[in-house]
Structure 1
């Protein structure tokens, strides 16, 4: 963050103002993260990423709401956004608006986390060990360290 401030104080100030206009509270920690993302993203790159999210079916307001929840979603590349969206929305039937309510999912590694967990979810669903109430998003968000024990205990806990 300090590097961005030192490199171009004017750009940093503009980023702070834009982040405030988007609705971030300067008293909250995510304000710093949002300012960093905004300051380190060129205007044209920001517009391009906004267009990528719009091509996936989201409005500008939905994208900004996702940015307010998880600022790093705007630091993800098109090569990250499109495959994750394609898998979750097109192939897995994930609700697009629900995905934008959990934008941190775009930070997960597709081949190491998202695809394997989607496979586990489908297997559990097909065996009747989990129903759609659990939600695939919850399975994606469970931390790596506890995922195996959480998934193995689902039937015993009655969370299925």
Structure 2
């Protein structure tokens, strides 16, 4: 169990959260329904509303927000500083979960080197570059062009 505090909620509070999540049209049999309940149970209503307002200030409609929350309920757990370009996040809310220092910046730097050296003709899309797993990313970039990197 990753969130034992959910079990410790009172029956009434858990029922309120379940009803609220169900109103958002989550499938009660899906894993995201469970994640949504976990997120909601670990967050005060005031924090929820504050984060919703951050998304609204960025131009998100309620529909955009609910769409992102349905795809990735944990997007509400990230800090306000990680909430950036709304059009990108609405399409792929998982981007909020990635570390800038450990994933985004290193991958961008590596791809920039490969593009400058002419090894990659087309710049890959942001979603592809950040969403593929570490093993696939390394196979398609670093391992594929390892002889170039061994020279330096």
Settle same-fold status: TM greater than 0.5: yes
Aligned positions of 1:75-90 closer than 5 A: 75-81=77-83, 85=84, 89=85
Contact kept, 8 Å, 1:69 with 1:103, in 2: the verdict is yes
SS of 2:21's equivalent in the other structure is helix
Aligned to 1:52: 54
Corresponding residue pairs, total: 142
SS of 2:134's equivalent in the other structure is coil
TM-score for both structures, normalised by structure 1: 0.76
Q: Is 2:104 aligned against 1:114?
A: yes
Aligned to 2:149: none
Aligned to 1:131: 122
TM-score for both structures, normalised by structure 2: 0.80
Task: Please give the alpha-carbon distance, in whole angstroms, between the structure 2 residues aligned to 1:119 and 1:51.
Answer: 33
Task: Please give the alpha-carbon distance, in whole angstroms, between the structure 2 residues aligned to 1:38 and 1:98.
Answer: 24
In structure 2, relative to structure 1, the CA distance for the partners of 1:152 and 1:112 (3 Å cut) is closer
SS of 1:146's equivalent in the other structure is helix
**Structure number with larger C-alpha Rg:** 2
Deviation at 1:56, TM superposition (A): 2.7
Give RMSD over aligned pairs.
Answer: 2.2
Task: Please give the alpha-carbon distance, in whole angstroms, between the structure 2 residues aligned to 1:97 and 1:124.
Answer: 27
Task: Please give the alpha-carbon distance, in whole angstroms, between the structure 1 residues aligned to 2:62 and 2:11.
Answer: 28
Aligned to 1:29: 31
Aligned to 1:147: 137
Task: Please give the alpha-carbon distance, in whole angstroms, between the structure 2 residues aligned to 1:56 and 1:116.
Answer: 27
